Chain A
Amino acid sequence: MKQQAASQKEPQTNGRRQELIDAAAYLFATKGFEATTMRDIAAHVGKTPGALYYHFTSKDDLLVAVHSQARKWGESIFQEVDSSAEDPWLRLEKICIAHMQALLERSDYAAVVGGTLPEDDAKLRRQLVGVRDDWERRFRELIEELPLKTESDKKYVRLALLGAMNYSQVWFRPNRESPRAIARKMVDLMRYRLLD
């Protein structure tokens, strides 16, 4: 019965749920997970804590939801790249452009997913690391296709590229290079010879 009622008002409920996840992402990113309370998140969207608990049983739940949302976006991007048959370097460039756009245009989510995970809860930590691992696995598959000589080359191209992209949040300024231009230049650095 309860489920039926929920499905009837699903679009509205999903909209509210999304609003709450967005608010949680913003507060976790700016204030930190530990320092944010359920009350803060409710207040941010002008709701009572009770209304928040209707959707999420705990702050941990919200943190997992923020990570899951990031993963969903990632998966839709990967599907798009998977359906394009191109040169492996160009496919990698595509995924990197998408990654940079997500990172710089949805920076709250990126800050939460890429930031420090709560250290004192091993079970929660494992769930969150899982989301990050999925992202990395898809990346690894694309990098596997590159015409590089050794497995070790592939491993360090992946780690260096992901690391460099993720770190761009520190120095990125809108109105200079676009996320697209940055991604292209980084992939070029991995691909082409450095010295004259």
Chain B
Amino acid sequence: MPRSQRPRKINRYQPLLEAAAGLFKRRGFEETSIRDIATEASMLPGSVYYHFPSKDELLVAIYKIGIEHHLKAARDAIATSKDPLSQLVAVCQAHMRAILGGSDFATVVVRVLPRNDTALFDRLVALRDEYEDIFRQLIAALPLAPGVNRKFLRLTLLGALNSAPVWYHSGLDDPKTIVDKIIQRFVDGEKRAA
């Protein structure tokens, strides 16, 4: 975001976004009111509206930060290897770290997608698309067995990971190992009959 577009009261802007991201993540978007967010950020509801005309705009702003977080983590991960499969593993590991406690903003991106507002839905999906393109490109570079559908591989892999905030618990392996094992399972499968 160009500096000139940033709101002036930047000192209240960031805590407000953090409060909203935390509530959206823990409680859900529909379940959270502007009043809840104001209370969490120790502000008056009117002050929230000073920064954001609506809860939708707050969510879009949180998404943009979350996507930036994901993009940076993914680019760093890709730089660690030249092999497409290792790069995919590294990107998935960075993704899991981010959504399992690394950043509330990054978690909101994968857990909050209001289904009953088409205009908002389309804006959020467009933001996600830039990030998911990284997965498209990495999967496009894999030497896949015949019969493997690239789109379904991406949707299945991302779906499995993005559900982790729901199914993850401390009795499991650490996030990095989980990604290793899930992808290894994909790799180790039976040979498909011709």
Contacts and interface: CB of A to CB of B under 8 A. Distances in A.
A116 B186 contact: no
B181 A194 contact: no
Interface stretch (A8-16, A59-67, A74-82, A151-159): A151-159
Nearest to A132: B166
Contacts of B159: 163-168, 170-171
A166 B163 contact: yes
B148 A160 contact: no
- Category for how many chain A residues contact B: 35 or more
Interface in B113-134: 113, 115-116
B146 interface: yes
Interface stretch (A17-25, A29-37, A43-51): A29-37
B2 interface: no
Interface in B156-194: 156-164, 166-167, 172-173, 178, 181-182, 185-192
Contact of A185 (B152, B163, B172, B191): B152
B44 interface: no
Contacts of A161: 160
Contacts, number: 124
Interface residues of B, number: 46
A119 B22 CA distance: 13
B185 A30 contact: no
A-side binding surface: helix, strand, loop or mixed?
Answer: helix
A192 B166 contact: no
B165 to A, nearest CB: 10
A161 B159 CA distance: 9
A89 B194 CA distance: 18
B86 to A, nearest CB: 13
Given A35-B31, A193-B189, A196-B144, A167 B158 contact: yes
B190 A192 contact: yes
Interface in A168-190: 168-171, 182, 185-186, 188-190
Given A157-B185, A162-B163, A191-B190, A170 B113 contact: yes
B21 to A, nearest CB: 14
Interface in B9-34: 26-31, 33
Contacts of A152: 173, 181
B145 A195 contact: yes
A153 to B, nearest CB: 6
B179 to A, nearest CB: 10
A115 interface: yes
Contacts of B182: 156, 160
Complex A-B, nearest 7 residue pairs according to Cβ-Cβ distance, in ascending order: A163-B163, A167-B159, A32-B30, A164-B159, A160-B160, A32-B31, A116-B28
Given A189-B186, A195-B142, 9 more contacts: A31-B30, A34-B27, A164-B157, A164-B159, A166-B159, A185-B149, A185-B156, A189-B152, A195-B144
Interface of A: 30-35, 111, 114-116, 119, 152-153, 155-157, 159-171, 182, 185-186, 188-196
27 contacts: A30-B30, A31-B30, A116-B27, A119-B26, A159-B167, A160-B156, A160-B160, A162-B163, A163-B159, A163-B167, A166-B163, A167-B158, A168-B155, A168-B159, A170-B162, A186-B152, A189-B153, A190-B185, A190-B186, A192-B189, A194-B148, A194-B153, A194-B187, A195-B85, A195-B143, A195-B145, A196-B143
